Amino acid sequence: MVDVPLGPAGVIPPAEVEDMELYHPHSWVTKYVFSQDAKVIAIQYSATALGVGLVALVLSWLMRLQLGFPGVFSFIDANAYYQYITMHGMMMVVYVLTALFLGGFGNYLIPLMIGARDMVFPYANMLSFWLYLLAVLVLMASFFVPGGPTGAGWTLYPPQAIMTGTPGGQDWGIILMLVSLMIFIVGFTMGGLNYVVTVLQARARGMTLMRMPLTVWGIFTASFMALLAFPALFVGAVMMLFDRVLGTSFFMPAIVEMGQPLERGGGSPLLFQHLFWFFGHPEVYIVALPAFGIVSDLISTHARRNIFGYRMMVWAILIIGALSFVVWAHHMYVSGMNPYFGFFFATTTLIIAVPTAIKVYNWILTLWRGDIHLNVPMLFALGFIVTFVNGGLTGLFLGNVVVDVPLSDTMFVVAHFHMVMGVAPILVIFGAIYHWYPKVTGRMLNDALGKLHFWVTFLGAYAIFFPMHYLGLMGVPRRYHEMGGMAFVPPSAQTLNAFITVVALVVGFVQLLFVFNLIWSLRHGRPAGGNPWRATTLEWQTPETPPPHGNWGKELPVVYRWAYDYSVPGADQDFVPQNQASITRAAPEPAS
Amino acid sequence: MAVALILVVVALGSVLFHLVSPWWWTPIASNWRFIDDTIIITFWITGLVFVAVVLFMAYCIYRFRHEKGRTAAYEPENKRLEWWLTGVTGVGVAAMLAPGLFVWNQFITVPEDATDIEVVGQQWQWSYRLPGADGKLGMADTRNVSADNPLGLKRDDPNGQDDIIIEGGELRLPVGKPVKALLRSIDVLHNFYVPEFRAKMDMVPGQVSYFWLTPTRTGTFEILCAELCGVGHPHMRGTVMVQTEQEYLAWMQEQSERTFARLSAPD
């Protein structure tokens, strides 16, 4: 792989189409508001998602206050508590993580990393963001309607989601939640089609699939999966909306509400759970795969070493993506479904551990014999590996059907999924922001603030969620707004809860420091230049930074090599950009 | 250096926490000791992997940190190493999955001699039904639920005439006898969970789910609801008393007389 054979790419002249005109916006509004430029849309998506993330963060403080110091804050009653957990969960999973990785990083990085001028359907891309914003507004509106937001838990299981014993069940809360999800999915579909088709159709010359950075592989696979998984949630949402508004009984069996039999019958609550998790499990990997891809690139770049086992990494992404569609019922081992399903789903679930473990090995083998620069993006990548391995391993408890029986629906589950799909992907998002902020703005984020942000976030999050597993092992159920004198729980458990709350508040406040850094560095950050990390991938080779509309000026880049030519023996620098024909810069153009 | 050291502390600190923390599972009171054993196997395997991965990272960070003159090795692939690691991982996964599936098979295979009992969940209380002398429970249907028939029993079912119904009281079980708990809900999802029994299962309106267990020691244990069922979810508690067979039979006798008296009383 030292000198990738140039093949036909070396002799194809650069594209001669003078298409830059097509990409010039014509007014301030079309440039910054109703923009069709993927980079602007990416920033719109990211800013909105970070805003939602801050709201969800505040909700997590409120529920931690209740758990750590029950009864002290009188405004957090059972109703409010369940509304907080529901909104926190749904916001973080769908409106923050999915939107940030695909709408944010996908939009910014796909065209730049594959050498395209923009997404292939810019208008649909613009609509995708505006529908996302509408979905967010509808969701936020539920805080202000009578009865408040739904408190059904983020899984929205019927029948309770649409009944009176649940906050928002017979008010507006659940309706707005379902409508918002439907709008989100419509918007996402427009974006997702764009990401998939752009990767397949708009790659620069020489950018074969097996030369793509793993970031693109991760986002591409996740988008493809999301296009297949979200429709299940859409269908579930439509049916539940009908059950709630029109009185149908898709999910409603013969049932009693507060002592009164209802005019319902024939529906199945389990049907919703299957639909939800047919979406919900792939969703875990829709969040994880972009994180896998991004973290691979962060580690490779900052360890100045090729990613170890690139082909295995690509195949692992694809295999994980495919397998994740046949494991959904591992969320339902104790749901009352046919127990014989347990054999199948436990087996598929544990098989997924193998390609996932391969990814972990290859990350740490990339560090091995590297030249490790411990700058802020790298620190976040290291933090990701620790938390992801920890959370992934506890997944082996929960995936192994009979072990799940005592642990399911306890705080063990809460600790597990926060570690593996909360903390770990968020650390990647932070690392990625520190990494690409210089390209987006032309300035570096403040390093000292970044390091403080990393250490408090990483160690704090670990201190929150690692001990929490043991509460669950002891048997403390999740979704209890107070433990309320369980005989088998020692008083020390409450001390642990208070400790977790204090750490959570500290970690939360440090995120405000990060937001400050984002804003402050816009003007005061150190100027970055075009390629501050000395990275190989195409986005760092743009003629201007930040890249203008159309990205590449007159000529599209031509790609000669894979994305990981770091520390190539014989090269004159410790990196060789993908669009550099020879490993030495001064070399003459290759002969045909 | 500091980074490597902190990672070492994280890895070893986690192990230390595991060993000294006062928070551990409650002493078991059922036959599902195998589940605990499988958890222990899983702790060992995953713990070793976690410590190995983090310590190896720490070593790399210390050994290969950036210094003047250091150059990273260029080695895109190492097929042998990759296949080795894949193989070892596969073995580790199988070592957890095999006992897991073996115990699961036991968990879902109810012994012939297990006694049926019924647990009914509703917002936010537990009710129970025990078969009388005939050993059989009568039929029930949510559509029959009314103020004077809160569990929706089918009144003319001969099997149900001697059933013992406990509303708002405690569930009693004889020690050492296998029990099959038939789980039913008349409103939303609930989950019958006794931490000391290790077993739990959702109760779903419109269907009957089940699990089985053999209580292995006498005592009083708390029943919790483990599936979100509305605002009263944490307060949906109950009590199960595991008694010696003599105590249990005496109590049964008393209940049967009470049930008989109630059924034969004029309306």
Domain regions of chain A by residue span:
7-253+275-541
Test the A interface: residue of B6, B9, B23, B49 with most A CBs within 10 Å: B23
Q: Please tell me which of the candidates B76, B193, B228 has its beta carbon nearest to residue A160.
A: B228
**So what's the pLDDT on residue A260?**
85
Cβ neighbourhood burial of A265 (10 Å; 0-12, 13-18, 19+): middle
Please give the residue of chain B at the shortest CA–CA distance from A410: B226
Please tell me which of the candidates A256, A267, A343 has its beta carbon nearest to residue B104: A343
CB atoms within 10 A of CB A476: 24
Q: Is A320 left (phi over 0), alpha (psi -120 to 50) or beta?
A: alpha
d(CA A157, CA A240): 10
What pLDDT sits at residue A1?
A: 45
Residue contact A405–B199, C-beta within 8 A: yes
* Number of Cβ atoms within 10 Å of the Cβ of A585: 12
* Interface subset of B 58-87, CB within 8 angstroms of A: 60-61, 64-66, 70-78, 81-82, 85-86
User: Residue length, chain B?
Assistant: 267
pLDDT at position A320, please?
A: 96
Q: Which neighbouring-strand residues pair with A477?
A: A410
Residue A482 tokens read as: 């107070």
Q: Output the six-digit token pair for A445.
A: 């984020």
Determine whether the interchain pair A473/B23 forms a contact, defined as Cβ–Cβ distance below 8 Å.
yes
Angle between helical axes of A38-68 and A78-90 (0-180°, round to 10): 150
Residues near B167 by beta carbon (within 8 Å), at least 6 away in sequence: B125, B127, B150, B151
Q: Please, are residues A81 and B235 in contact by the beta-carbon 8 Å criterion?
A: no
- Write down all domains in chain B, each with its CATH number in brackets: 2-63+80-108 (no CATH), 115-264 (2.60.40.420)
Q: Which of A:379-398 have CB within 8 Å of B?
A: 379, 382, 385-386, 389-390, 393-394, 396-397
CA distance A515 to A430: 11
Distance from CA of A283 to the nearest CA of B (A): 22
B1 interfacial to chain A (CB closer than 8 Å): no
User: B-chain residues within 8 Å CB-CB of A358?
Assistant: 82, 85-86, 89
B81 contact partners, CB below 8 Å, separation of at least 6: A365
**Cβ-defined contact of B89 to A401 (cutoff 8 Å):** no
Q: What is the pLDDT of residue A190?
A: 95
Report d(CA B189, CA A203) in Å as an integer: 50
Judging contacts by C-beta atoms under 8 Å, the chain A residues touching residue B74 are 2, 305-306, 566-569
Query: What residues in A contact B26, CB-CB < 8 Å?
Result: 474-475, 488
For residue A384, what is the nearest residue in chain B, using CA coordinates? B54
**CA A31 to chain CA centroid, nearest Å:** 27
Report chain B residues whose CB lies below 8 A from the CB of A471.
23
B97/A161 Cα distance (integer angstroms): 35
Cβ within 8 Å, pair A374-B25: no
Q: Maximum distance among all alpha carbons in chain B? A: 99
> Residue A80: how many CB atoms within 10 A of its CB?
21
Strands A256-257 and B179-185: unpaired
Q: Chain B partners of A475 at a C-beta cutoff of 8 Å? A: 25-26, 193, 195, 224
Per residue of chain A (592 residues), give pLDDT as tens: 455 555 555 555 555 555 655 666 667 787 888 899 999 999 999 999 999 999 999 999 999 999 999 989 989 999 999 999 999 999 999 999 999 999 999 999 999 999 999 999 999 999 999 999 999 999 999 999 999 999 999 999 999 999 999 999 999 999 999 999 999 999 999 999 999 999 999 999 999 999 999 999 999 999 999 999 999 999 999 999 999 999 999 999 999 988 788 888 899 999 999 999 999 999 999 999 999 999 999 999 999 999 999 999 999 999 999 999 999 999 999 999 999 999 999 999 999 999 999 999 999 999 999 999 999 999 999 999 999 999 999 999 999 999 999 999 999 999 999 999 999 999 999 999 999 999 999 999 999 999 999 999 999 999 999 999 999 999 999 999 988 788 889 999 999 999 999 999 999 999 999 999 999 999 999 999 999 999 999 999 999 999 998 899 888 999 999 999 999 999 989 999 999 999 888 655 555 4
Tokens of B36: 């605990």
Q: B5 CA to chain A: closest CA distance, Å?
A: 13
Has this prediction a pTM greater than 0.90? Answer: yes
**Whole-angstrom Cα distance, residue B231 to residue B147?**
23
Name residue, tokens 């804050």.
A73
First to last CA, chain B: 84
A12 touches chain B (CB under 8 A): no
Portion 190-249 of A in contact with B at CB < 8 A: none
Question: Is the CB of residue A508 less than 8 Å away from at least one CB of chain B?
Answer: no
pLDDT of the residue at B69:
87
B66, two tokens: 């950036």
Could you tell me the two tokens for B244?
């010696």
Put simply, whether B53 touches A (Cβ < 8 Å) is: yes
Q: Which of the residues A166, A400, A456 would you substitute to probe the B interface, choosing the one with the greatest number of B C-beta atoms within 10 Å?
A: A400
A591 contacts chain B (CB < 8 A): no
How far is Cα A442 from Cα A524, in angstroms, rounded to an integer?
11
CB contact under 8 A, B82 and A471: no
Q: Could you read off the pLDDT of B5-55 as tens digits, one per residue?
A: 999 999 999 999 999 999 999 999 999 999 999 999 999 999 999 999 999
Alpha carbon dihedral B21, B23, B29, B31, in 10-degree steps, equals -70
Beta bridge mates, A465: none
A247 Rama sector, left if φ>0, alpha if ψ -120 to 50, beta otherwise = left
Chain B, residues 103-132, CB within 8 A of chain A, namely 103-105, 107-108, 122-124
- Optimal mutation site among A160, A320, A333, A375, interface B, most CBs of chain B within 10 A: A160
Residue B267 has pLDDT above 60, yes or no: no
Collapsed DSSP state (helix, strand, coil) of residue B173:
strand
Q: Is A347 on the interface with B (CB under 8 A)?
A: yes
Give the residue from B164, B207, B165, B216 showing the smallest Cα distance to B189.
B207
Q: Return the CATH number of the domain spanning residue range A7-253+275-541.
A: 1.20.210.10
Contacts with B66 from chain A: Cβ below 8 Å: 304, 371-374
Q: How far is CA A367 from CA A59, A289, A306, A317, B61, in A?
A: 37, 20, 10, 20, 7
Whether residue A254 and residue B205 make contact (CB cut-off 8 A), yes or no, is yes
Q: What pLDDT sits at residue A322?
A: 95
Contacting residues for A426 by C-beta, under 8 A, at least 6 apart: A97
CB of B224 within 8 Å of a chain A CB? The answer is yes
Q: What is the pLDDT of residue B265?
A: 54
Structure tokens at B201: 């299962």
Please check whether residue A277 is in contact with residue A293, taking contact to mean a CB–CB distance below 8 angstroms: no
Q: Are A269 and A253 in contact (CB under 8 A)?
A: yes
Find out whether B223 and B240 touch, Cβ atoms under 8 Å: yes
Please give the DSSP secondary-structure letter assigned to residue B75. Answer: -
The pLDDT of residue B160: 83
Q: What share of chain A is helix, strand, coil (3-state, %, to 5)?
A: 65, 0, 35
What are the pLDDT digits (tens) for B146-182?
A: 888 888 888 888 888 888 888 878 999 999 999 999 9
pLDDT score of B145: 87
The torsion angles phi and psi of A565, rounded to 5 degrees, stand at -85, 75
pLDDT in tens, B104-148: 999 999 999 999 999 999 998 999 999 888 888 888 888 888 888
The 3-class SS string of A155-179 reads: CCCCCHHHCCCCCCCCCCHHHHHHH
What 3-state class would DSSP assign to B38? helix
Give A264-271's long-range contacts (Cβ < 8 A, gap of 24+).
A265/B143, A267/A243, A267/B206, A268/B206, A268/B207, A269/A157, A269/A158, A269/A159, A269/B189, A269/B204, A269/B205, A269/B206, A270/A332, A270/A335, A270/A336, A270/A337, A270/B204, A270/B207
Q: Please give the Cα distance from B35 to B46 (Å, whole number).
A: 16
